[in-house]
Amino acid sequence: MSFWKTAGRFAALAALTLGLSACGINEIPTQDEQVKAAWSEVQNQYQRRADLIPNLVATVKGYAKQEETVLKEVIEARAHATQMTLPADVLSNPDAFKKYEQNQAAITGALGRLLAVSENYPDLKSNQNFLALQAQLEGTENRIAVARKDYIDAVQRYNTMLRTIPTRWTAAIFYSDLKPRETFSAPVKAQQPPEVKF
């Protein structure tokens, strides 16, 4: 009789273990950590870009003294973005996330104007420092795009887990403090079709 009792307990324990592993009890925090890691990489790439800006501005400043307005826009956009204090809940706080996204978009726009201005200065375009900085900046923009895509993918997996059964129930029971994460959106300007003029 003790054999059947032991076998029954073992079977119950095995069923409980299997049930817990199938309900996503470990998958939810795993996905949460993947979202956090992807977000850290986004911030890392934005910081890399912010670190390149002072050198780029200094290089352009020597050649394009009359372009002070554009240089000032780049410096101010960088200052805005780097001085923003991110709240701990930025990933689940739509307002803070949107403000962060807008600050980064302002840097992108200002840098675009700065690089367009450089077209007016042939000496600047052939300067080795400028060319190296421009190449690094382009590489960083590509890294930002990849990091944002990885973050969006991680958020999609995580948010799906929080909204689908059975992990939805598991999250409600064991991880009730976890909330869906925010994701990046395309700026309104990018959603409009480009005007083509010949």
Residue 70 has pLDDT above 80, yes or no: yes
pLDDT tens sequence across 9-39: 777 666 666 555 555 788 999 999 999 999 9
Per-position b or e across 81-111, b if 16+ CB within 10 A of its CB: beeeeeeeebbebeebbeebbebbbbbeebb
Mean pLDDT over 168-183 rounds to 92
The Cα-based distances of 29 to 24, 74, 86, 150, 152 in angstroms read 9, 39, 22, 18, 17
Domains detected in the chain: 26-177 (1.20.1440.20)
pTM > 0.85: yes or no: no
